[in-house]
Amino acid sequence: MAISAEVSTTGDELTIAVAGRFDFSSHQEFRNAYEALDTTPARYRIDLREANYIDSSALGMLLLLRDYAGGDKAVVEIVNCTSDVRKILSISNFEQLFTIH
């Protein structure tokens, strides 16, 4: 399980990349990725290219991030989902809350 965070050069977008299993064990690391920032990004990108598994506690973590980023006003994109991950996200109808590519 590895999480890396990168702020865009313009400073307004934070990309969090998750690799391996995205589940409860990554809870603290995922939170740190956006809470430890000095800046407040306008947009968040969650890159799941390397994530091969996602469980319901990871869905909960995404909800926490969305809440942190402003709830209904938050701009959170989830990108590069594998088909398995995509399936989990769409069963829960998370496209109603996030922009998913």
Cα end-to-end span (Å), the chain: 22
What CA dihedral angle connects 47, 101, 23 and 21, to 10 degrees?
-60
Q: Is 10 in the site for other proteins (CB under 8 A)?
A: no
H helices present in the chain, as ranges: 27-35, 56-68, 83-91
CB of 62 to other proteins, least distance (A): 8
Which one of 5, 42, 59, 75 is in contact with other proteins (CB under 8 A)?
A: 59
**Residue 83 binds other proteins (CB under 8 A):** no
For other proteins, which residue of 64, 74, 75, 100 counts as binding (CB under 8 A)?
64
19 binding other proteins? (CB under 8 A): no
Cβ atoms 41, 11 nearer than 8 A: yes
Catalog residues that contact other proteins under the rule CB under 8 A: 24, 55-57, 59-61, 63-64, 67, 72, 87-88, 91-94, 96-97
